[in-house]
Amino acid sequence: MKHIYQKGSNEEAPVLLLLHGTGGTETDLLPLAEMVSPGSSVLSVRGNVLENGMPRFFRRLSEGVFDEEDLILRTKELHDYLELASKEYDFDKKKVVALGYSNGANIAASLMFHYEGALKGAILHHPMVPRRGITLPALSDMPVFIAAGNNDPICPAAETNELTRMLEEAGAKVDNHWENYGHQLTRSEVEAAGTWFHRNFL
């Protein structure tokens, strides 16, 4: 997968897996990583699917309607790639925290839904429920930060609350951060994610 890897100054800090939103690239979230954990190594990945020329991590049938078959395939692709990257760049794959926005947050959530131990934790900016009607693996005390907008037209509050409930029922420790905005990323939610990250991992 097309990516950027940057070795950090703090080898004890988790590796940040950066996953962009629709139309983004592997450079988009590098400033967020610097704000959240400047000492962490960073693996930033570009999605392999194109929608009208815009990179994504998996196909969708329409706005908010995921292609489940493709989601499952692309989640496995990302999971397998993490294994390869951990060997290539010599990092501990058990110390990876995902930081995703929108479509990237959805594929990060899908990793948690499908693969036990795939992530040490996750920062999800404006995520949706990736799949329904499946049993999640054990997420025993996994720290998860979810940033959401009260006025988000793509990801309504009910979606955030449902995802939170599903993760908590699987054992995750979820912290929700609400903004009075829409689907856009805000500086204040990234700063809140940084405070959360330091409390849980550093």
For residue 106, the surrounding DSSP H or E stretch is helix 103-114
Neighbours of 190 (CB within 10 A): 22
List, as one string, the DSSP characters of 169-191. Answer: HTT-EEEEEEESS-SS--HHHHH
Angle at 30 between CA 24 and CA 35, to 5 degrees: 130
Contact (Cβ atoms closer than 8 angstroms) between residue 4 and residue 85? no
Residue with tokens 């996994």: 142
183 is catalytic: yes
102 is catalytic: yes
Q: How far apart are CA 99 and CA 104, in angstroms?
A: 8
90 is catalytic: no
Among 102, 110, 114, 177, the one annotated catalytic: 102
Q: How far apart are CA 28 and CA 88, in angstroms?
A: 23
Among 114, 125, 152, 177, the one annotated catalytic: 152
Among 3, 86, 175, 183, the one annotated catalytic: 183
Active site residues: 102, 152, 183
